[in-house]
Amino acid sequence: MKHLLAAVDLGSNSFRLSIGRVAEQNGAKHIYQIDRLKETVRLAAGLDASKNLSQEAIDRAVEVLQRFGERLRSFHPDRVRAVATNTFRVARNVADFLPLAEAALGFPIEVIAGREEARLIYTGVSHTLPVSAEKRLVIDIGGGSTEVIIGKGDEPILTSSLYMGCVSFSQKFFPDGRIDAQSMKQAELAARREIEVITKPYRKMGWDMAYGSSGTAKALLAILTDGKLTTGGITRDGLDRLKAKLIRSGRVITNDLPGIKVDRADVLTGGLAIMSAFFDEMRVDTMKTGDGALRLGVLVDLAGREEAHDRRDESVSAFMKRYHVDTRQANRVKRTALSLFESLFPDRSQQDELRHTLSWAADLHEVGLSIAQAGYHKHSAYILNNADMPGFSRVDQLHLGLLALVHTGKLAKAQSLVKSRDQWLTILCLRLAVLLCRRREDVARLPLSVSINGNSIVCKVDKKWLATHPLTDFSLHGEESEWSKVGFDFELILI
């Protein structure tokens, strides 16, 4: 299992599991997919008018995840990454559904933002294409959202996520399966209204070749090719011929559409309308399909994390530059916080992800100073909770925002947000580090040590050092009061 990685893609239409083998060739890492599972779940179809998932949809999803979980049972958690997309983002009862889904799968599930989904999709597509200096437009029509990316080589340049997909559009414009010219026109116009928001920057950037990824693009290519409606990829003329054929038939008749898969029939019309809108609005004439998609992008990203090329590190560095963070102070705080953390968690392998989060939070805790000094920790938390941070899941960002919010000030505001004792201890490390580095000078040696026994925090401080640092003395005594409000005993002992 040493060279195997697994990616789980929980889409709005289908759930997919991909297992890849990591191999090195000419100094570069390559992912070879050795096993795949796909199940049509139609999760987006289970959303009611209030955006709540039905019990039937939840049950379908849990059954599929249990089967995926059996296949992954022998995998170490560090070698599996499960990501969830648009329906998980919009479902109002996701907080009730997510624990059930994670229990069934046996691994944590990351609900990723639309732009992060777009980045991973491009990573997956580019991994399967020849090395080229051309700019590539990638369009991924999913069940509930559509991701649009322009990139060059392995790097995305423009990324967008649009709130439309083949499931949602099929339900909205073709609810009974009937197809006529008017409903097709309305669906295309609705899609064009969504696309026109991004049209100008994408046209200005330009691209050399367009690629479609995932189910809709592959289904359209198969139908157009096998039905002899086009030659050489997905074309504008081929899409127009397919639309005319469906309108004449009045519905999707699978026997009349060579190349179509039965599980794609119910959502074909919505995907076709969206793809046609892209061809018209963005003036695409021909599109190829890319074999890679979100799940392969997740595998490539996971392999990169193993090599210490974590995309999240790059995002943190970019944010520090963008928000003019004092890097020397950030490094002081980080060194101090991690030193305290390692004294509390000597087994690094068990808390490696939490350690990474603390390190990133120390780097970014002052990003809010770029807005205002007053209440800067609140500004920092807002930025980290809401900005697009490539590589970070929604949960990752919430953890960062939480640490930024409570690295100073009142602790009680975090009580409803903290989910575990280990999170509290991570907050403790960051708060003490910020407190000790307040003078923005290097700390030659730590003047204090921390130990934990149950909910008792014992902080031993060098009394000679503390006597010469009255502000720190005052602040440490303030910590006693703050921690007592959230259920901890904070004892300050002078040695």
pLDDT tens digit string along 314-366? 889 989 999 999 999 999 999 999 999 999 987 765 577 889 999 999 999 99
Look at residue 414 in the predicted model and tell me its pLDDT.
86
**Region 396-416 average pLDDT:** 91
Closest CA to 85 of 28, 139, 13, 37: 13
Q: How confident is the model at residue 309 (pLDDT cuts 50, 70, 90)?
A: low
Residues 6+ apart with CB under 8 A from 94: 53, 88, 111
Q: What is the DSSP letter of 31?
A: E
Which of 412, 411, 381 minimizes the C-alpha distance to 397? 381
Q: Residue 72: which pLDDT band, with cuts at 50, 70 and 90?
A: very high
Q: How far apart are CA 41 and CA 58, in angstroms?
A: 9
Range list for CATH 3.30.420.150 in the chain: 130-289
Assess if CATH 3.90.1150.10 describes domain 310-444.
no
**Secondary-structure breakdown of the chain: helix, strand, coil percentages, each rounded to the nearest 5:** 55, 20, 30
**What are 251-290's pLDDT values in tens digits?**
998 888 888 888 888 999 999 999 999 999 999 989 998 8
What is the fold, at CATH topology level, of the domain defined by 4-113?
A: Nucleotidyltransferase; domain 5 (3.30.420)
- Give ranges for CATH 3.30.420.40 in the chain: 4-113
pLDDT at 247: 95
Does residue 30 surpass a pLDDT of 90? no
Residue 308 confidence (pLDDT) above 70: no
Q: What is the pLDDT of residue 387?
A: 86
Residues of the chain with CATH 1.10.3210.10: 310-444
Residue 129: how many other CB atoms lie within 10 Å: 18
CATH of 130-289, one of 3.10.690.10, 3.60.21.10, 3.30.420.150, 3.30.565.10: 3.30.420.150
What pLDDT is stored for residue 115 in this prediction? 87
Angle in degrees, CA 276, 279, 280, rounded to 5? 90
Q: What pLDDT score does 290 carry?
A: 82
Distance CA 332, CA 47 (A): 48
Pairing assessment for the beta strands 135-141 and 209-213 based on DSSP bridges: parallel
The 3-state secondary structure of 473-489 reads HHHHHHHHHHHHCCCCE
204-244 pLDDT, tens digit each: 999 999 999 888 999 999 999 998 888 778 999 999 999 99
Contact 145, 114 (CB under 8 A): yes
**DSSP secondary structure letter of residue 265:** G
Least confident of 145-149, 305-309, 410-414, 467-471: 305-309
> 25 pLDDT band (50/70/90 cuts)?
low
Task: Return the minimum-mean-pLDDT range out of 162-166, 287-291, 350-354, 444-448.
Answer: 350-354
- Residue 165 CA to residue 180 CA, distance in Å, equals 19
Q: What is the mean pLDDT of residues 179-199?
A: 96
The predicted-structure confidence for 368-390, as pLDDT tens digits, reads as follows 999 999 999 999 999 999 887 87
Residue 310 has pLDDT above 80, yes or no: no
